[in-house]
């Protein structure tokens, strides 16, 4: 498919790993690569390995005396994109265990839409949305070691609040960004790429010989998921809404692409698999696809329902799983990155696959942070493909 494949031999992989050194070749499965990246020992060691041996000026963290008033997006009431307001907010200084980060790039994710609309409940009201960003550490809290002013770091997940020029974060949620990866690229893959990682490597382990179905194959997560599954040797079937998205999905390793707005995807999958069905469905569309996805599975297949871009799926009686002895899971990245070790392994494997070319990153859309309402409108109306990145106003690219 024109994709850089993981060269495989005896079930292992072979690639150049720029995180370990410019020359080091290492062998093993992606999990092994991740372990190499993570190394044994303390988390700070792992952080050092992940940070790609970049020598950065060690400036001890001192909270500056300057004003900590920044521009951020605030939501005061739930609703459409128009509730996203560009306002001044006071973020304060980092406390013990915390850092302050000046954001260079912020990833837009469908989950931001759920919180804005109230599908998921935000912890406070008003709130600053956003679950992912890459930036430079501008201050560290008292007594904190292992993080320095000037470090380029990324985070994805909790806490919410990345739609901001600067934000305060717990130091243990960030990972150092390898110097070989541009901050905008890093912001386009942290949440989506770590999601792809846990889906194909841990939730259902994709292997050579599997046939898989990925809905919204040209979306932010979908693009990375298809590439990763292809590299693992699976036959990948993707669904998309338009010809344009179909072309992208093919480039991203889909062996078969179904335009589910025109064709019945259950019939198409049945034909492609000669009636056998697929081993796993990765369904992020939810309401519109859920029942059809179950119909596409083979006996003992895995239904991985990890999102609801079209709405929450209708309730399902347990008996619906019985006729094919199906497995059903509703996973989230938070539960697959519960510990710092899991976070470092997931991010390490993701960064390694980006650096080696196994994963092509697609920053297909950029918006100034102040214009995020337009970005939300475009994401919700299916106008976007690949990743959408928000750039804080005034930040040089
Ligand atoms: N469980 C987790 O931990 C986790 C983590 C990350 C993301 N997710 C989920 O993964 C999904 C993808 O997230 P993303 O940020 O990468 O978004 P995305 O896939 O780039 O955008 C959503 C896509 O869904 C498809 N879609 C189908 N019906 C839709 C509808 N009625 N309204 C809007 N979109 C519709 C569209 O693709 P087509 O035009 O091709 O149909 C659209 O481009 C979301 O459901 C998100 O909640 C879950």
Q: What φ, ψ does residue 99 adopt, rounded to 5°?
A: -135, 160
Look at ligand 1, atom 20, and give the residue with the nearest C-alpha: 219
Task: Assess whether the C-beta atom of 240 lies below 6 angstroms from ligand 1.
Answer: yes
Asked if residue 107 lies in contact with residue 132, where contact means CB atoms within 8 angstroms, the answer is yes
pLDDT-derived band at 52 (thresholds 50, 70, 90) equals: very low
Task: Assess whether the C-beta atom of 204 lies below 6 angstroms from ligand 1.
Answer: no
**What is the reported pLDDT for 61?**
39
Closest ligand 1 atom to the C-alpha of 239?
40
CA 87 to CA 106: how far, in whole Å? 17
Please state, rounded to an integer, the average pLDDT across all residues of the chain: 87
Look at ligand 1, atom 42, and give the residue with the nearest C-alpha: 382
Nearest to 236 by CA among 285, 197, 280: 280
Distance 135 CA to ligand 1 centre (A): 25
Task: Assess whether the C-beta atom of 228 lies below 6 angstroms from ligand 1.
Answer: no
Task: Assess whether the C-beta atom of 332 lies below 6 angstroms from ligand 1.
Answer: yes
Higher pLDDT, 241 or 36: 241
Domain ranges of the chain: 210-330
Q: In sequence order, which residues have a C-beta less than 8 Å from that of residue 137 and are 6 or more positions away? A: 61, 99, 100, 101, 147, 148, 149, 150, 151, 152, 153
pLDDT-derived band at 66 (thresholds 50, 70, 90) equals: low
Asked if residue 165 lies in contact with residue 71, where contact means CB atoms within 8 angstroms, the answer is yes
CA 336 to CA 345: how far, in whole Å? 11
Distance 217 CA to ligand 1 centre (A): 9
pLDDT digits (tens, 9 = 90+) for 179-206: 999 999 999 999 999 999 999 999 999 9
Among 39-48, 116-125, 329-338, the range scoring the smallest mean pLDDT is 39-48
pLDDT digits (tens, 9 = 90+) for 88-121: 999 999 999 999 999 999 999 999 999 999 999 9
B/e letters for 165-201, b = 16+ CB within 10 Å, e = fewer, are bbbbbebbbbbbbbeebbbbbbbbbbbbbbbbbbbbb
Q: What φ, ψ does residue 71 adopt, rounded to 5°?
A: -90, 140
Task: Assess whether the C-beta atom of 365 lies below 6 angstroms from ligand 1.
Answer: no
Nearest to 246 by CA among 271, 268, 277, 278: 268
Look at ligand 1, atom 19, and give the residue with the nearest C-alpha: 219
Task: Assess whether the C-beta atom of 189 lies below 6 angstroms from ligand 1.
Answer: no
CA 115 to CA 129: how far, in whole Å? 7
Task: Assess whether the C-beta atom of 308 lies below 6 angstroms from ligand 1.
Answer: yes
Q: Which CATH number fits domain 210-330: 3.90.79.10, 3.90.1300.10, 3.40.50.720, 3.20.20.150?
A: 3.40.50.720
CA 76 to CA 54: how far, in whole Å? 41
Task: Assess whether the C-beta atom of 221 lies below 6 angstroms from ligand 1.
Answer: yes
* Cβ-based neighbour number of residue 294 at 10 Å: 22
Match 């850092």 to its residue by tokens: 99
Task: Assess whether the C-beta atom of 375 lies below 6 angstroms from ligand 1.
Answer: no
pLDDT-derived band at 33 (thresholds 50, 70, 90) equals: very low
């Amino acid at each position: 498919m024109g994709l850089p494949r993981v060269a495989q031999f005896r079930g292992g992989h072979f690639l150049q790993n720029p995180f370990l050194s410019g020359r080091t070749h290492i062998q093993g499965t992606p999990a092994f690569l991740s372990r190499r990246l993570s190394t044994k020992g303390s988390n700070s060691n792992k952080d050092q390995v992940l940070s790609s041996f970049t020598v950065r000026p060690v400036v001890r963290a001192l909270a500056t005396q300057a004003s900590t008033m920044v521009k951020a997006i605030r939501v005061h009431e739930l609703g459409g994109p128009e509730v996203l307001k560009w306002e001044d907010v006071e973020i304060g200084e980092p406390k013990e265990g915390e850092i302050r980060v000046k954001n260079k790039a912020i990833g837009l994710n469908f989950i931001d839409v759920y919180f804005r609309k109230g599908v998921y409940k935000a912890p406070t009201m008003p709130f600053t949305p956003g679950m992912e960003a890459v930036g430079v550490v501008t201050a560290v809290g008292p007594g904190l070691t292992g993080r320095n002013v000037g470090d380029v770091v990324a985070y994805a997940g909790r806490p919410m609040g990345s739609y901001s020029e600067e934000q305060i974060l717990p130091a243990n949620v960030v990972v150092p960004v390898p110097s070989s990866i541009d901050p905008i690229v890093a912001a386009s893959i942290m949440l989506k790429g770590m999601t792809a990682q846990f889906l194909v490597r841990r939730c259902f382990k994709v292997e050579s010989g599997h046939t898989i179905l990925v809905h919204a194959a040209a979306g932010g997560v979908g693009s990375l998921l298809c590439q990763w599954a292809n590299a693992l040797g699976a036959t990948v079937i993707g669904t998309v809404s338009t010809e344009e998205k179909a072309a992208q999905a093919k480039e991203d390793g889909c062996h078969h692409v179904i335009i589910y707005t025109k064709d019945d995807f259950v019939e198409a999958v049945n034909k492609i698999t000669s009636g056998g069905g697929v081993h796993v469905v990765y369904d992020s569309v939810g309401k519109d696809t859920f029942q059809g996805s179950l119909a596409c599975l083979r006996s003992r297949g895995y239904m991985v329902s990890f999102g609801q871009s079209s709405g929450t799926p209708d309730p399902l009686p347990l008996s619906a799983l019985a006729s094919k002895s199906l497995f059903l899971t509703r996973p989230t990245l938070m539960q697959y990155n519960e510990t710092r070790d899991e976070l470092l392994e997931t991010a390490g494997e993701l960064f390694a696959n980006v650096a080696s070319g196994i994963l092509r990153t697609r920053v297909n859309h950029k918006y100034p942070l102040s214009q995020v309402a337009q970005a939300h409108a475009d994401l919700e109306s299916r106008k976007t493909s690949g990743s959408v990145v928000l750039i804080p106003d005034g930040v040089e690219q």
